[in-house]
Amino acid sequence: MLRLALLISALLMPGWAWAHASLVKSVPAQRAVLYRAPAQIQLWFNERLEIRYSSLSLVDGRGEPVETGAVEIAVDDPKSIHAAIKSLPPGSYTVKYRVLSTDGHVVENQFSFTIRQ
pLDDT in tens, 18-65: 567 899 999 999 999 999 999 999 999 999 999 899 999 999 999 999
Q: What is the pLDDT of residue 16?
A: 44
Q: In what helix (H) or strand (E) does residue 9 lie, and over which residues does it extend?
A: helix 2-12
Q: Which are the contacts of 22, defined by CB distance < 8 A and separation ≥ 6? A: 45, 46, 47, 107
Residues 89-104, mean pLDDT to the nearest whole number: 94
**Does residue 14 register a pLDDT over 70?**
no
Look at the pTM and tell me if it is higher than 0.75.
Answer: yes
Q: Yes or no: say if 85 and 68 are a contact pair by the CB < 8 Å rule.
A: yes
Q: Who has greater pLDDT, 84 or 6?
A: 84
Q: What is the pLDDT of residue 5?
A: 52
